[in-house]
Structure 1
Amino acid sequence: MTIWKVGNRICSKFSTKAVWENIRRARPPVYWARFIWNQAVIPKHRITSWLFMLNRNPTMDRLVSWGIDLENCCLLCGNSPESRDHLFFLCPYSVRAWENAIGVLGFINPPIQWELVLYWLSSVSTNPAQLAAILQLWHGSIYVIWQERNARYHNGVTKPHFMLSREVIKLAKDKSMAMCSCGSDFASSLVALWSSV
């Protein structure tokens, strides 16, 4: 008979969560956690955004700092060194994709500097459905811009910025519909919001 023991406690069944809680080093929650781990956001978008929050994705500036012999130039605009802060959304290409996406919710001239976007997210809306839609667009923009950057780096394939915006909006609407079909009460107000734009 198998016995699971987590710490000094014998468990009746295996729990990944219990093991994780036992082995991890607990830290106080970060202020941006609620922006990243929102259930209205597509999981792969959340993971990508989380890695960018930690500044762990291999942007050109990081690759160069690891000693890789590369020219540190943004693959999207070709004008500036590539970094997380440049990609989201100081780059002339990515800022157009971001502004077009968030513009469908009526936001004109949203912040474009990384830290200012985070500050803006914390105060932009008290309406839960609207905040969820904003987060869907923010995460989606980060994800598709990173995909576009990687497609250019690995395959030499490019898309115009407006195609990225359309993709972000479609993904947000599709996620909302999927949540609704799974029976989420919250999703109905999110779908209603997306139906009105």
Structure 2
Amino acid sequence: MQGCIALGINLNATVEFVIQNYRSRRYRAGNLITIDKEILRLRTQGLTDEEDVVLWKGKGDVFRVGFDTNQTWNLTRVQQAKVQWYKGIWFSGSTPKYSVMTWIAAHNRLATGDRLLQWNAQANAQCILCKSAVETRDHLFFSCPFTEAIWRNLTGKLLGQNYSPTWSQVLQIVSKNQITGVKKFLLRYVLQVSVHTIWLERNGRRHGTAQRPPSLLIKFIDKQTRNRISSLRGRRGTLFNQAMGIWFSSRD
């Protein structure tokens, strides 16, 4: 709106009307100077008898009639190299709220104790679950004795010799082909539900809500996993038809 006022152009004016009636002015803002030059260039070029149409600027500064969401997204952000763990976060059959929480954790952007110290030197950075170490992302998932017990119970049999409570190794396992098929889906899903559940438990304790022991959190994560498997069976091919049996066989 401010740009239209500065240029003296009505918000609903057509291209034809602007080219024919626009009065050039002296501007200081770079974007207004650019628009002024473009209008004058089009006036010199002359108008055609064609009707005005809306065109979308796409890749390579090519204007098209159709709107492309993929190109628009890539043109409006700074693109970075793909991280190796993205396949372990975004996968078929995942639950969005769990994926987003795990994505934030993968970027180490959760407000853990060590990050709170960066904003407030007086903040309590102690892990509220074990009360024996500074709370970092890597400690919380799953080096803390409290959360390691949860992770081991849920994934010990699925991972076997590949079992690890170290965050970087866990991300590597769920992102690469060390584990394949149904087990890979189960590990990815359990990881995300575990991250979400543990973070909520941590926040609840910091705000004085009732504390739940590892056994209750394990039971909750197990139920969420079984519910997800049930919702996917029969709708996503034969892969998920085997998931419930494999999940049951991995439980104590």
User: TM-score normalised to the size of structure 1?
Assistant: 0.86
Aligned position for 1:80: 133
**Cα deviation digits, residues 144-185 of structure 1 (max 9, x gap):** 11111011112332100111112112212212222235x211
Aligned length: 195
Question: Within 1, Cα distance between the matches of 2:220 and 2:161?
Answer: 19
Q: Which stretches of structure 1, 4 residues or more, deviate above 6 A after TM superposition?
A: none
Question: Within 2, Cα distance between the matches of 1:129 and 1:109?
Answer: 16
Judging changes above 3 Å, is the alpha-carbon distance between structure 1 residues 5 and 106 closer, same or farther for their aligned structure 2 residues? closer
Contact 2:183 2:246 in 1 (8 A): yes
SS at match of 2:94: coil
Contact 1:61 1:72 in 2 (8 A): yes
Question: Within 1, Cα distance between the matches of 2:243 and 2:63?
Answer: 43
Contact 2:58 2:68 in 1 (8 A): no
> Aligned match of 1:146 in 199, 214, 220?
199
Contact 2:89 2:99 in 1 (8 A): yes
Larger radius of gyration: 2
- Letter of the 1:70 counterpart: A
Q: Which runs of 5+ in 2 are unaligned?
A: 1-52
Identity, % of aligned positions: 27
Judging changes above 3 Å, is the alpha-carbon distance between structure 1 residues 196 and 93 closer, same or farther for their aligned structure 2 residues? closer
**Cα deviation digits, residues 97-117 of structure 1 (max 9, x gap):** 111111363747821122232
SS at match of 1:31: coil
- Letter of the 1:42 counterpart: T
Aligned position for 2:112: 59
Q: Which runs of 5+ in 1 are unaligned?
A: none
Contact 1:101 1:166 in 2 (8 A): no
> Aligned match of 2:152 in 99, 115, 119?
99
- Letter of the 1:95 counterpart: E
Q: How is 1:1-197 mapped onto 2 (pairs within 5 angstroms)?
A: 2-7=54-59, 8-67=61-120, 69-103=122-156, 105=158, 107=160, 110-121=163-174, 122-125=176-179, 127-180=180-233, 183-185=235-237, 186-194=239-247, 196-197=249-250
Judging changes above 3 Å, is the alpha-carbon distance between structure 1 residues 12 and 180 closer, same or farther for their aligned structure 2 residues? farther
Contact 2:113 2:126 in 1 (8 A): yes
Contact 1:61 1:82 in 2 (8 A): yes
Contact 1:99 1:108 in 2 (8 A): no
Higher relative contact order (CA 8 A, sep 6+): 1
Deviation at 1:69, TM superposition (A): 2.7
Judging changes above 3 Å, is the alpha-carbon distance between structure 1 residues 144 and 90 closer, same or farther for their aligned structure 2 residues? same
- Letter of the 1:19 counterpart: T
Cα-Cα RMSD: 2.4
SS at match of 1:167: helix
